[in-house]
Structure 1
Amino acid sequence: MSSEREVEFLKLQEERLSALEKRKAERKEANQSSEQLNEFLKVFYSLKSETETELEKLGKLTSDAEKKSHLNSAQTKVNCLQDLLNDALSYLPAYDLRKSQDAVTTIHENIARVQQVILPKKKFAFGKKKNAAANINVTEKKANSDNKFSKYTGDVIYENKSNETLNIPKNEIHKKDVLLKNLTNCTVNLKSTMGTLHCTNCTNCTFFVGPISGSLFLESCNESVYHVTCQQARIHTTHAATFYIHVTSKAIVEDCKGLKFGIRDQFYEGYEDDVAEAGLGETNNWDDVDDFNWLSKDPSPNWSTV
């Protein structure tokens, strides 16, 4: 064999070995990812089942103390579910991520609904009459919506207002689930710890929001600005909105365009105490956003940083 042929032969052998090693590494990585995914799904759905069983037990209890204990247990478990999901974001396929996140959201909503039925709180709604001191009149209402979060009612409801500044008293929203609906050209101040915040059909509004121990849910909140701190953010069918946000898990967007994300830089007196009360840490994933409509590895065109 000539020297040239020997060199060519050795080169081909080296390329074959390199390709073989690459395929082996890819198979190993795929197997590891598959094992990791299977382990996540096993633990996640086992804990999900435990949480749902906890909620089912509530209907058979008579003692308020027992009901509160089981509700707290269910809430702790769903928080663990969210933590599991947050830790798995880097390797979960889009389908499993969406399905798991929807499961967590459903349980959050079921807990709120069960709490309203078994341990009801006094509900408030923002009425049409104005109070001379605060321009707020609270009356009992039920929220009806045809949108994605239509089953949600909330403990506190403010709706159908235009061109107003809403300074909502802390004692009305403290640790409660709040629904804001059909607001236009409003400035909304929510300077307190809350459980969850739902905003539906709010246009050209500015929101200054205290720490949310659970989730921020938005739909059809166009051309608005949010200064918000939360554990989780889910944003749907929203266009041209800006978020100055502190979020401890990834924000999730779906059917959105023209969103901007920046670091929260406006606060209020007592904010740090509220953050501690909400149990939110220093981790801030303000620029780590999952777009369910953009599965490519390239950056999504539907959001950008400020």
Structure 2
Amino acid sequence: MGPKDLQEQINHLANLSAVAGERHDTIEHILTGISRLSNEVADAADYVPAYDQRTYSQALKQLTDQLNEAQAQFRPKSRFQFKRRNPPSGGDAMADRKNDARYMLPAGGQDKSSSPSAVTAVANANGSKLSSEDHKDSLSNLPSVPAKNYNEEIAKDSTDSRVRKPSFSTARDITLSDHEKLHIILPLSASRATSAGALTNMKGCIVDMSVPTRVCAGGAPFASLALKNISGSLIVAGHVDGPVHITGLRDSKVLVVARQVRIHECENVDFYLYCASRPIIEDCKGLRFAPAPKFHSADKDESTNMWDQVDDFKWLKAEHSPNWSVLPEEQRITEDVWKDKVPGHPGAGLDDILSTVGIGAEA
């Protein structure tokens, strides 16, 4: 929601009912929107020009001031008044009229300054006056904060380290694509962008998205997640409240905690799952399944995990599908490795970690 949308909601407050809490809920929604925009402007400080930064900040301040003014109009006015026993003199009467709010209102008893068609003065940065219509136009013409290209930033990182920690603090969703031989770890700040996630065209990578999607760590689960065209990689996908669609993976290992998992056209992949429904596979072979490690699924009820109740939609015979099997316990990645090795540690490079979890150095 941009400044123009918030402006319209502020202008509409007077038409909302205060009895059922409708006005209060809208005010809370506006405050949340202003707070989110303020965070986005602050996070964009390293790549947005100073002039634009000031423009955004001024617009948000104007929105905040307008909301405060609108709220002030809704506060109940005191009915208590002193009554004079003696009629005031002519000079006192004029002074009283001057200070009496009732005589400040136009004919009809309503404050026309709050109506949409009225022209009210709004001070701009140079101290000049803008009409309310001009102010509304200035908000509607305000450019949106330019989206940051996190994939480009990851690819251009000039450090010698192969570890990347993109914040995704200004993004609405998480999209990682076209990376090779990188260890990508998402920090907690990425929890702002977990409305959806997508990983595509990854080769020889480690991607850990567990921290921003773990509720117990202060994160927020993905609403949905898609993994596509990934080879020779370790993917710690984290928590997903909705469906996970996995397509075209080869020679990789995936850990995910989700409500639903659908796997298509994958080969030689180990899955460590917590799945609240039966996992579905189609056009796959060489898949092995194991339960998600407790380190990543501690907040889930193990009795509801259906990790080993896989349905192969392309295998209609009564006997067990040859396209998947249960991963033997002695071949599973241990809890200690998930907890201590996979996140990275001093002296361990990308290939070292991949080798530890059973993925060859050559992707």
TM-score calculated relative to the size of structure 2: 0.42
If the length of structure 1 is used for normalisation, what is the TM-score? 0.50
